[in-house]
Structures are given as structure tokens and as C-alpha cells.
């Protein structure tokens, strides 16, 4: 694939807790130059990025990040604030403890409530595959589909492991027709990016976009 074509799949990402404005600003400049799908940034930088760059780039942010066990009301408030600040896309972390307790219904309900707030804005649901069994991953494909989210996403990049091709293939087999796939975590080379796109990903979370250029 052409490097520009690959870049169109990438959410150019910087979510480190020590990320400075200078680093975020550089990320945005790179995203515009490389024509990535979006930048994915901490929520406290959304308004500043939008004020400087406006519609020159698509801004994604995270809620319930990185552990996912905040109360649903907290995630809803995070989502509302992010959208008010100018976020175009939301990446939310599910309540993994609910999954481990077998309560997929509450996960589905929470995703649905966040999607309702998002409206036409894209919602990506991070399931953090490194903590899940195969059966739980399949169940979450159903939850994300039923709740009407736009993407199922493998990982935060802060867990014990990141994306795998096997998980992408599993998602592809079990998600509904309206759900797309985002892989994130540990994707650092052009070969990795091409492999995940070929496996069926529509987005890739990546902090290493520069390797293409």
C-alpha cells in the first residue's frame, strides 16, 4: 500500500499522562501533514486544539480511560464535555469488571447510553482484549453491535498487551454489519499497519506514524 493510503487509516495518537502542549501541537501538525484519519488526544487538550486548528483535522479523545470502571454517569459527563469542547470522535473504555462478573447486559446498556450522547459522532468501544477470554470477546462483539456503536477497538495501549491479528479476525467473524474494527497497542511498523488493514481494520491507533515517512 502507498504510505499516504495507510496514513488515512491511522488515528495519530498521544495519550501519555505527561504529554505537553508542545508535543500535542506537533502531533496535530504531523496529522495534517500526513493526512491521518484523526488525532487521538487527552480530553483536556481538545478545546485548545480546536481553537488553533478548527476543522483542519478530526479530533478523537478518550473517556473512561484507561481502566473503564468509572460509573456510567461519569463517562456520560466526560463524553458530553468532550463533545462540547469540540471532539469529533469518542473512544470509550468498557467496564471490564462487569464483563468479568458476567454482566454483559450492563456493558451493552452503558455503550448504548454513550452512543445516544454521541449521536452522529463516531463512537469506538475499547474492550481491552488482553484481559478477556475468547468467549468474552465474542460476547462483547454482540454487545457493541446491539448498542449501535461504530467501532470495536482492541486495546487502550495501557494494558498488559495490545492488538493481535487473531483478535481482529475474531471480531470480523462476530461483529454485526454496521460495526468496524480499530486495532491499537503495539502497532509500530509499516508491515504491522499493512497486516492489520489486510486483516480487516478500518482504523489503527498508532503513535508511530512517522515510520511511514
- Residue from 75, 95, 182, 192 carrying the catalytic annotation: 182
Please give the pLDDT value at position 135.
98
pLDDT in tens, 152-176: 999 999 999 999 999 999 999 999 9
* Tens of pLDDT, residues 37-78: 999 999 999 999 999 999 999 999 999 999 999 999 999 999
Q: Let me know: does 187 contact 212? Beta carbons within 8 Å.
A: no
Residues 91, 150, 167, 192: which is the catalytic one? Answer: 91
Decide if 182 is catalytic.
yes
- Phi-psi category of residue 182: left, alpha or beta, with phi > 0 → left and psi -120 to 50 → alpha: beta
Of the listed 115, 153, 167, 192, which one is catalytic?
153
Q: Which residue has the cell 449521536?
A: 119
Amino acid at each position: 500500500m502507498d504510505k499516504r493510503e495507510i496514513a488515512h487509516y491511522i488515528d495519530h495518537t498521544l495519550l501519555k499522562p505527561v504529554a505537553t502542549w508542545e508535543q500535542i501541537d506537533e502531533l496535530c501538525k504531523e496529522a495534517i501533514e500526513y493526512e491521518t484519519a484523526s488525532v487521538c488526544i487527552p480530553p483536556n487538550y481538545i478545546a485548545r486544539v480546536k481553537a488553533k486548528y478548527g476543522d483542519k483535522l478530526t479530533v478523537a479523545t478518550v473517556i473512561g480511560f484507561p481502566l473503564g470502571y468509572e460509573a456510567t454517569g461519569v463517562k456520560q459527563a466526560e463524553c458530553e464535555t468532550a463533545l462540547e469542547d469540540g471532539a469529533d470522535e469518542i473512544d470509550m473504555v468498557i467496564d471490564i469488571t462487569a464483563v468479568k462478573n458476567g454482566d454483559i447486559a450492563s456493558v451493552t446498556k452503558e455503550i448504548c447510553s454513550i452512543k445516544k450522547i454521541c449521536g452522529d459522532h463516531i463512537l469506538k468501544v475499547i474492550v481491552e482484549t488482553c484481559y478477556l477470554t475468547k468467549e468474552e470477546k465474542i460476547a462483547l462483539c454482540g454487545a457493541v453491535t446491539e448498542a449501535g456503536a461504530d467501532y470495536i477497538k482492541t486495546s487502550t495501549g495501557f494494558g498488559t498487551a495490545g492488538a493481535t491479528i487473531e483478535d481482529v479476525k475474531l471480531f470480523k467473524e462476530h461483529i454485526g454489519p454496521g460495526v468496524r474494527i480499530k486495532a491499537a497497542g503495539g502497532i509500530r511498523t509499516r508491515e504491522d499497519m499493512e497486516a492489520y488493514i489486510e486483516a480487516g481494520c478500518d482504523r489503527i491507533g498508532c503513535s508511530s506514524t512517522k515510520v511511514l515517512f
